[in-house]
């Protein structure tokens, strides 16, 4: 079973998670990491919001803060975990940014 971790801010990924659970529940184990607080305009240290390590086959990024998205992408790239961050403009190896 493939392990997917979904990072979201204020439930921004729930519709996509529902689709994965409905159509692919047999193949995927889904874990949510939700950030449900208002964020400052600039985040210098993302350790308060992101885990120290990630164990997954795929990460889905529905975060709305560019600093968190960047740090998440860099962490996953370092650990060879592919990331889907739709509509984002990152240039980090292993982070795929299809248009929305």
Instruction: Return the domain boundaries, the chain.
Output: 2-96
Give the pLDDT confidence of 10-31 residue by residue, as tens digits. 999 999 999 999 998 789 999 9
Tell me, what's the pLDDT at 68?
Answer: 96
Looking at 43-47, 62-66, 93-97, which range is the least confident one? Answer: 93-97
Chain-wide mean pLDDT for the chain? 93
Tell me, what's the pLDDT at 82?
Answer: 96
Topology annotation, domain 2-96: Rossmann fold (3.40.50)
Tell me, what's the pLDDT at 99?
Answer: 81
What Å distances lie between residue 71 and 25, 90, 95, CA to CA? Answer: 29, 10, 11
Rounded Cα distance, 53 and 69, in Å: 15
pTM of the model: 0.91
**Residue 65: which pLDDT band, with cuts at 50, 70 and 90?**
very high
The secondary element (H helix, E strand) that includes residue 47 is none
Output the CA torsion sign for 64, 80, 75, 90. Answer: negative
């Amino acid at each position: 079973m493939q392990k997917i971790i979904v990072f979201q801010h204020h439930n921004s990924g729930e519709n996509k998670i529902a689709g994965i659970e409905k159509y692919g529940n047999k193949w995927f184990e889904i874990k949510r990491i939700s950030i449900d607080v208002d964020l400052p305009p600039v985040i210098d240290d993302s350790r308060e919001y992101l885990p120290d390590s990630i164990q997954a086959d795929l990460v889905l990024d529905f975060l709305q803060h560019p600093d968190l998205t960047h740090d998440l992408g860099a962490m996953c790239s370092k650990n060879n975990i592919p990331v889907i961050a739709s509509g984002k403009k990152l240039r980090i190896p292993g982070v795929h940014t299809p248009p929305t």
